[in-house]
Amino acid sequence: MSSETIVTPGRRLGLVEEHDAGPGTYVRGGMIYSSILGTKRITAPETSEKPVIQVDRKSPLAIPTIGSEVLCRVIRMNPRAATVAIMMVGSTPCQEDFAGTIRHQDIRSTEKDLVQMVNSFRPGDVVRAEVISLGDQRSYFLATTKNEHGVVFAQSTAGNTMIPVSWEEMQDPKTKAVEKLRVAKQGRIPQHVAFIMDGNRRYARKRHRIASSGHVSGFYRLANVLEWCNDLGIQNVSVFAFAINNFSRSPEEVSALMSLAKEKLRELADKSSLVKQHGVRIIIAGNRDLLPGDVREAAEFAEEKTQHNRGMRLNICFPYSATDEISAAIRKVTEDVRKGVLSENDIDEQAIESRLQIPGPPLDILVRTSGQIRFSNYMLWQSAKLAYIRFVDVFWPDFSFFHMFCILISWQLAYKSIKQRS
């Protein structure tokens, strides 16, 4: 059971003593406030827990029109056509159900008589296509005749995510099996993606578990996400593992998080397939002087163990805050001027940027889960440039490959306008 009303950003919603803060809200001074324009919703607890206040964003409707580029999933097929469910119009997810049809004659622009549906699509494939007609009363007519249109995501018969090897074939990277499909020309791949892994505690609370179990679930989801990023060809990934202000949480929770970090850092560096098979390099970014000695040793072990690897670079921000990072960079600049390494005339944006804790190329995409619309003092310097920001309304342990894939497609569609602003 729930109650709803329209609220604006900054609207006071309730007391933290009486409610839990949900997506679309923030907490300050013991009060819960709205962080977005939307519908306030109070959901009654299923047990003795406090009701949850959240604000649902009012999203613009995404309606396909002729010429729209859409992302769709193949539902069923016959020898003459594929029936699809349209999921996104441009970079906007659909709030309603729209059906589409890709007819045999609309798959390729040439040699149409040679097209075989079975070698073009399969149920479950995700396809990028163009709306060419409003169709009949049941569905839109779509086409994949352009090079950039076709299958963009497919799983092999073994259940693994496949990668394109040509315009008509995809390969399972694990089994090496090749399968025929109408493959879209691969879009640009971001160089650097960052994640604010939010929602572990609420994930656990929703399942009536202790908070530490949510963090364990979050670690296993991180392992999945890193595998996806590696398969997609993303070379630099940054993750917000622990904020400096998280030390203010209960001693029991902080202790559990430190124990988990110590265990998982060693496990990640010493046993994970990411390091052993793919050569991932681990970098710990943050103020490690704040860490307990045994946890700091585990962090140093992970860095030393992987320092010569040449695969994807994983920046684990732990413990970290952007203001601490920027302050430390300014202190380094001041110290270098004092030592004569840097002159006062050389102090500029690049001088500070080169001394930040998080290395790597410029940030392309920043993802925050749990529906909260805020940065939580994470990568503020890096996000201020041309980063593409996506807030996803799922808890971190529920973040899926499909969420990741849709974010990547949205970034590719928005890339041209992003570059025009640079």
Catalytic residues, which ones?
Answer: 198, 246
Name the DSSP letter for residue 49: S
Residue with tokens 């840097």, as numbered in its chain: 342
> For residues 219 and 222, what is the distance between their CA atoms, to the nearest angstrom?
5
Query: In the structure encoding, which two tokens stand for residue 168, read together?
Result: 């008509």
> For residues 273 and 230, what is the distance between their CA atoms, to the nearest angstrom?
11
* CA 42 from centroid of its chain's CA atoms: 27
> For residues 2 and 45, what is the distance between their CA atoms, to the nearest angstrom?
10
Residues written for the chain: 422
Position 212: which residue type? Answer: S
Helices 401-420, 211-232: inter-axial angle, 10-degree rounding: 60
- Beta-carbon neighbour count of residue 336 at 10 Å? 16
Of the chain, the end-to-end C-alpha distance in Å amounts to 47
Contact present, 315 and 283 (Cβ < 8 Å): yes
SS3 358: coil
> For residues 372 and 393, what is the distance between their CA atoms, to the nearest angstrom?
8
- 319 cis-preceded (ω within 30 degrees of 0): yes
Position 148: which residue type? Answer: E
- Beta-carbon neighbour count of residue 68 at 10 Å? 18
Residue 199: name the closest of 401, 373, 394 by CA. Answer: 394
Contact present, 38 and 4 (Cβ < 8 Å): no
